[in-house]
Amino acid sequence: MIRLIRVELAKVVRRPRTYLGYVAVLLILVPFLISLHYGRPEHFLRAQVGRDFAVVGTFFNALFLAHLVMKVVMVVFMPFFGSTVAGDVVAGEAGEGTLRTMLVRPVSRSAVLLAKYIVAALHAVGVTFFLLAASLGLGGLLFGFGDLFLFEAGLCIVPLKEGLLRLLGAYAAAALAVLSVASIAFLVSVLVDNALYAVGGALAVFIITGVVAVIPYFERLHPYLFITHMDLWQKLMLDPVPWAELGRSAAWLAGYCAACFLAALLLFRRKDILS
Amino acid sequence: MQSAAQANEPSQAAGAAAPVLRAAGLSKRYGKRQVVDGVDLEVRRGDVFGFLGPNGAGKSTTIRMLTGLVRPDAGTVAILGHDLHRRPQQALARVGAVVEAPALYPHLSGDQNLAVLAALSGGASPERRREVLRLVGLEGRAHDRVRTYSHGMKQRLALAQALLPQPELILLDEPTNGLDPGGMVEVRQLIRRLAAEEGITIFLSSHLLAEVEQVCNRVAVIHKGQVLVQGSVPELLQAAPFVTIAATPLEQAREVLAGIAGVRVAATDSGALRVECDPGRIADLNEALVRAGCRVSALVPGRLSLEEFFLDLTGSHP
Ligand SMILES: Nc1ncnc2c1ncn2[C@@H]1O[C@H](COP(=O)(O)OP(=O)(O)OP(=O)(O)O)[C@@H](O)[C@H]1O
Ligand SMILES: [Mg+2]
């Protein structure tokens, strides 16, 4: 199994398109860096809280950036940057035909698929944490470190150390949300011959559930939609942290990931390799 | 057959007598089209087995079923005594295959491709990889990306990856497809050498009658998903060589030839006679014609084309 994971990893890390997500993360940080560099905290506060504050010094720092950027990109962008490899690992090889070269060898299809899922998951989690690392790194360089200002429920100032811990937890929770979308892409990947279709399929599922999630008529479905649980990371920014709710959402998302993998496994084991 | 293998327990010993590959009643339908229809095959140890058929006959689909890529609707496959469906890993443990056009990782080098693929069947040392690359004549390009390879080089790298796990059986799907004449000769020589020197049993598909004749000792002919005949190449393919004879006057020549024992005038087309006879007797025919006062302008020994061969087999030849 370890050998299979290493093989999959070797193929993925040498493929230039794997790094698309990482480049996109860096690009997305640029407008944030500019706005924080040239913008003024007072204006930001007025927009957020609706009242004028007298600000002494600044709360624009690396932690603030890491949190701010998350609020914007976790909604749509990150799930897709995190899904590119998941959509590619099976469909890409089916398209290139290398799936048949692999599977005429004496390997268990289940083991191959598990190795591919693990690599896809590493990418989903990796891209998410890359966003944290990049915003802390670039933010630290430009704005330095300091206490984390939260405006979720009034103003809450979290000391640097606790702020870092909360961010770490929030990104871990967000990685799980990203992984759940990646798992859908992975499932579609088993059915199609092109990574774009797989990521597109996951996008379609994402949009449809997103629509269902905002239509009141479907209110009774809402607790069961994965999209309802995707903002679980925000709970780590509340005071006090609602651990029970957070745990429930995490369990739902983990369940979705497992269900997608198992469905993919059933399909893959029976699939006729025709490409 | 099965009971014999079971009785002879340590089944490796029994494997020597059992066929290397046996398929029984393989069938596959895509949508409404019956693509493979009750195919039986038996490949014995040491065979270079030709799987001959025109485009769309179902060769690749059959090979996909023989390698576990496609699940047959009906029928069974046993490789080296292991049932492919029930024990795919045992069945494929000593098998190398190239299915359809070579499919390799374009962004990896030839050597990296071999390493990655070998890891799926127990690994191969760098020495072993170098050895197979040398065998197929790619050692000079081992570290270039496969993206930069020509079609012939990819074909040879695919052959190399099939050879990596020191297989007892390799399955090759139209291994000379897309190669230039020089490349074809090289690959055919390599195949013969692998069979003769390394003792590898080879199953190869082809739509070229001449290719099967040159490299194979046994053949199965597939047409529209069904195996028409199966047997030794000398018996099946070299049965009816013929000579095309152009002579004037044509009618007289026809009568003279028809009078010779063991000679059959099969057809007349475009001013020439198609005569079926032992190729060793062509000089005799010429002499008889000249003696009878015919002027012979051409004497061309010929082989049945694949088309004609199929027409013969399917019985629709005049
Ligand atoms: N994925 C598929 N879906 C539907 N029909 C298919 C598929 N693959 C092959 N076929 C059909 O099955 C038949 C046999 O195809 P196959 O590829 O096995 O033939 P072949 O003998 O390998 O031909 P060739 O010499 O052209 O490679 C053809 O009629 C083809 O159209
Ligand atoms: Mg074919």
To the nearest whole angstrom, how far is the Cα of B223 from the nearest Cα of chain A?
20
Chain B CB within 8 Å of residue A40 CB: no
A166-180 burial code (b ≥16 CB/10 A, e <16) = bbebbbbbbbbbbbb
To the nearest whole angstrom, how far is the Cα of B61 from the nearest Cα of chain A?
9
Q: What is the Cα gyration radius of chain A?
A: 20
pLDDT given at position A55: 60
Residue A261: φ, ψ to 5°? -65, -45
Residue A52 pLDDT greater than 70, yes or no: no
Q: Which of A8, A12, A104 has the highest number of chain B CBs within 10 A, making it the mutation to test binding with B?
A: A104
Do B227 and B261 reside in the same domain of the chain?
A: no
- Mean pLDDT (whole number) for A174-203: 93
Share of chain A above pLDDT 90, in %: 51
Task: Name the range with the highest mean pLDDT among A63-67, A153-157, A265-269.
Answer: A265-269
Q: CA B52 to CA A111: how far, in whole Å?
A: 35
3-state secondary structure of A150: strand
Q: Does B103 contact A10 at a Cβ distance shorter than 8 Å?
A: no
Q: CA B131 to CA A262: how far, in whole Å?
A: 41
Centroid of ligand 2 to alpha carbon of A21 (angstroms): 38
Of A97, A105, A270, the CB nearest to B117: A105
Q: Which residues is B82 bridged to in the sheet?
A: B79
Q: Does A105 contact B70 at a Cβ distance shorter than 8 Å?
A: no
Q: Does B89 contact A4 at a Cβ distance shorter than 8 Å?
A: no
Write a three-state SS string for chain B: CHHHHHHCCCHHHHHCCCCCEEEEEEEEEECCEEEEEEEEEEECCCCEEEEECCCCCCHHHHHHHHCCCCCCCEEEEEECCEECCCCHHHHHCCEEEECCCCCCCCCCEHHHHHHHHHHHHCCCCHHHHHHHHHHCCCHHHCCCEHHHCCHHHHHHHHHHHHHCCCCCEEEEECCCCCCCHHHHHHHHHHHHHHHHHCCCEEEEEECCHHHHHHHCCEEEEEECCEEEEEEEHHHHHCCCCEEEEEEECHHHHHHHHHCCCCCEEEEEECCEEEEECCHHHHHHHHHHHHHCCCEEEEEEEECCCHHHHHHHHHCCCC
Q: CA B194 to CA A271: how far, in whole Å?
A: 33
Q: Which of B207, B236, B265 is the last residue of a domain?
A: B236
pLDDT given at position B48: 95
Domain range annotation of chain A: 2-270
Residues of A in contact with B69 (CB under 8 A): 100, 103-104, 272-273
CATH number at residue B191: 3.40.50.300
Do B228 and B286 reside in the same domain of the chain?
A: no
3-state secondary structure of A147: coil
Residues of A in contact with B112 (CB under 8 A): 10, 14
Q: Does B112 contact A97 at a Cβ distance shorter than 8 Å?
A: no
Do B187 and B91 reside in the same domain of the chain?
A: yes
Q: Which atom of ligand 1 is nearest to the CA of B64?
A: 18
3-state secondary structure of A148: strand
Do B244 and B286 reside in the same domain of the chain?
A: yes
Q: Which of B216, B236, B256 is the last residue of a domain?
A: B236
CB proximity under 8 Å: A 106-165 to B: 106-108, 112
pLDDT given at position B226: 92
CB proximity under 8 Å: A 72-111 to B: 96-108
Residue A199 pLDDT greater than 60, yes or no: yes
Residue A232 pLDDT greater than 50, yes or no: yes
Q: Which of B211, B236, B261 is the last residue of a domain?
A: B236
The per-residue pLDDT for range A84-142, each reduced to its tens digit, is 999 999 999 999 999 999 999 999 999 999 999 999 999 999 999 999 999 999 988 88
pLDDT given at position B11: 43
Identify the DSSP state of A149. Answer: E
To the nearest whole angstrom, how far is the Cα of B182 from the nearest Cα of chain A?
26
* Sheet arrangement for strand B226-232: B95-98, B169-173, B201-206, B48-52, B218-223, B226-232
pLDDT given at position B237: 66
Do B177 and B249 reside in the same domain of the chain?
A: no
Q: How far is CA B147 from CA A101, A111, B162, B178, in A?
A: 16, 28, 19, 17
Centroid of ligand 1 to alpha carbon of A264 (angstroms): 26
CB A55 within 8 Å of CB A42: yes
Q: CA B206 to CA B60: how far, in whole Å?
A: 10
Torsion of CA A187, A192, A195, A199, to 10 degrees: -50
Identify the DSSP state of A16. Answer: G
Q: How far is CA B43 from CA A274, B46, B54, B236, in A?
A: 24, 9, 21, 16
Please give the mean pLDDT across all residues of chain A.
Answer: 88
Q: Which of B59, B66, B204, B227 to mutate to test the pocket of ligand 1 (most atoms within 8 A of CB)?
A: B59
Q: CA B99 to CA A208: how far, in whole Å?
A: 39
CB neighbours of residue B116 within 10 Å? 22
Q: Picking from A164-173, A237-246, B122-131, B309-318, which range would have the lowest pLDDT averaged per residue?
A: B309-318
pLDDT given at position A146: 81
Q: Give the residues surrounding ligand 1 with Cβ less than 6 Å away.
A: A 274; B 30, 35, 53, 55-61, 207
CA triple B231-B232-B235, angle to 5 deg? 100
How many residue pairs bridge chain A and chain B with CB atoms within 8 Å of each other? 80
Do B156 and B302 reside in the same domain of the chain?
A: no
CB B244 within 8 Å of CB B295: no
Closest residue in B to A9 (Cα) is: B116
A188-211 burial code (b ≥16 CB/10 A, e <16) = bbbbbbebebbbbbbbebbeebee
Ligand lying nearest the CA atom of residue B56: 1
CB neighbours of residue B122 within 10 Å? 14
Do B80 and B180 reside in the same domain of the chain?
A: yes
Q: Which of A17, A18, A101, A108 has the highest number of chain B CBs within 10 A, making it the mutation to test binding with B?
A: A101
To the nearest whole angstrom, how far is the Cα of A108 from the nearest Cα of chain B?
7
CB B25 within 8 Å of CB B46: no
Distance of CA B138 to the CA centre of its chain: 24
Residue A193: φ, ψ to 5°? -110, 15
CATH number at residue B287: 3.30.70.100
Residue of minimum CA distance from atom 16 in ligand 1: B58
Of B69, B120, B121, the CB nearest to A273: B69
- Name residues whose C-beta falls within 8 Å of residue A88's C-beta, 6 or more positions apart in sequence: A15, A17, A18, A189, A195, A198
Closest residue in A to B28 (Cα) is: A272
CB B211 within 8 Å of CB B217: no
One pLDDT digit (tens) per residue for chain B, 318 residues: 344 434 333 444 444 567 999 999 999 999 999 999 999 999 999 999 999 998 899 999 999 999 999 999 999 999 999 999 999 999 999 999 999 999 999 999 999 999 999 998 888 889 999 999 998 889 889 999 999 999 889 999 999 999 998 899 999 999 998 888 988 998 999 999 999 988 999 999 999 888 888 899 999 999 999 998 898 887 776 655 678 888 888 888 888 888 887 787 876 777 788 888 777 788 888 888 899 888 888 888 776 666 667 777 766 544
Q: CA A62 to CA A42: how far, in whole Å?
A: 18
Q: Which residues is B109 bridged to in the sheet?
A: B145
Q: CA B204 to CA A140: how far, in whole Å?
A: 63
- Domain containing B278 equals 240-314
**Inter-axis angle of helices B250-258 and B282-291, nearest 10:** 120
Do B110 and B220 reside in the same domain of the chain?
A: yes
Evaluate if pTM is beyond 0.90.
no
pLDDT given at position B285: 85
Residue of minimum CA distance from atom 3 in ligand 1: B30
The tally of domains found in chain B comes to 2
Q: Does A104 contact B104 at a Cβ distance shorter than 8 Å?
A: no
pLDDT given at position B240: 59
The per-residue pLDDT for range A55-86, each reduced to its tens digit, is 656 677 888 888 889 988 888 789 889 999 99
pLDDT given at position B39: 95
How many angstroms separate the first and last alpha carbons of chain B? 41
